């Protein structure tokens, strides 16, 4: 029996019995209260009231109906004052706060972690190797997952006017490499000049159109920083590469490797 329901209306003594088996609907119409009816005292518990109602109801039913109820395991759902006595899950299981972090909280923690790395000039999991016919390159000594912070492109932060002055000075010396990275931040053009030789490794990442890193802006207290994050999963011993994005004929003529 999938669903057996007995509903008792205490106020009108109106009883409806719904029996799922054979889709039988048996309605006992409203009757006057029996002569031996005794009002329930207000002090009685809900359970006592319900038991009293059910007992009075069954007393008016034929004996063969009692047997039918017993054989078919009919469940009695008691109604007091026309409201079902439902129980909430919280009546049995206390409410507790979830320890699961939201996406906003996770992103905030990641941002603060990168802040600490940049402020303390930490560059873990990297090493510089010499590549025949190419020069220096930066390699991973540990694996990185897609989206992980890899290293900062560290240098002097310049506005556009100052950057153009330095670029003109560097052009006078053909031995000076190009380490100037222009970008937009809050509707203004800035440049990170990493031309000066330092022990920071971000300036040494080589070019590839199909690189495994990409640049991303990371502001700290309103000051923009350029960082490299993994554009895909990176295995240990892989060279770290990113696309310089320079497709001009002049640049490709001077540096043919920009085509690849």
CATH code of residue 122: 2.170.270.10
For the entire predicted model, the pTM comes to 0.60
Are residues 84 and 38 part of one domain?
Answer: yes
Looking at the structure, tell me whether residues 205 and 115 fall in a common domain.
yes
What is the span of the domain harbouring residue 133?
Answer: 103-154+198-259
The tens digit of pLDDT for each residue in 123-162 reads 999 999 999 888 899 999 999 999 999 999 999 999 999 9
HEC profile of the chain:
CCCEEEEEECCCCEEEEEECHHHEEEEECCCCCCCCCCCCCCCCCHHHHHHHHHHHHHHCCCHHHHHHHHHCCCCEECEECCEECCCCHHHCCCCCCCCCCCHHHHHHHHHHHHHHHHHCCCCCCEEEEEECCCEEEEEECCCECCCCEEEECCCEEEEHHHHHHHHHHHHCCCCCCCCEEEEEECCEEEEEECCCCCCCCHHHCEECCCCCEEEEECCECCECCEEEEECCCECCCCECEECCCCCCHHHHHHCHHHHC
- Whole-number mean pLDDT of the chain? 76
The verdict on residue 184 lying in a domain is no
């Amino acid at each position: 029996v999938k669903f057996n329901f007995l509903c008792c209306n205490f106020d009108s003594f109106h009883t409806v019995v719904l029996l799922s088996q054979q889709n039988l609907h048996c309605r006992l119409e409203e009757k006057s209260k029996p002569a031996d009816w005794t009002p329930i005292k207000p002090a009685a518990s809900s359970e006592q009231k319900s038991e009293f109602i059910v007992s009075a109801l069954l007393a008016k039913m034929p004996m063969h109906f009692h047997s039918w109820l017993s054989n078919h395991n009919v469940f009695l759902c008691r109604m007091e004052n026309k409201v079902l006595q439902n129980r909430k899950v919280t009546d049995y299981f206390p409410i507790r706060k979830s320890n699961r972090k939201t996406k906003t909280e996770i992103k905030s923690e990641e941002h603060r972690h990168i802040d600490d790395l940049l402020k303390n000039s930490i560059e873990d999991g990297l090493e510089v190797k010499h590549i025949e016919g190419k020069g220096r390159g930066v390699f991973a000594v540990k694996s990185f997952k897609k989206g992980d912070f890899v290293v900062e492109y560290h240098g002097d932060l310049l506005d556009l006017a100052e950057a153009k002055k330095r670029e003109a000075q560097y052009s006078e010396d053909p031995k000076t490499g190009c380490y100037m990275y222009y970008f937009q931040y809050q509707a203004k053009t800035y440049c990170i000049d990493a031309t000066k030789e330092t022990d920071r490794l971000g300036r040494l990442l080589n070019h590839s159109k199909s690189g495994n890193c990409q640049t991303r802006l990371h502001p700290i207290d309103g000051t923009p920083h350029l960082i490299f994050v993994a554009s895909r999963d990176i295995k240990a011993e892989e060279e770290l590469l990113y696309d310089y994005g320079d497709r001009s004929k002049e640049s490709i003529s001077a540096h043919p490797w920009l085509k690849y």
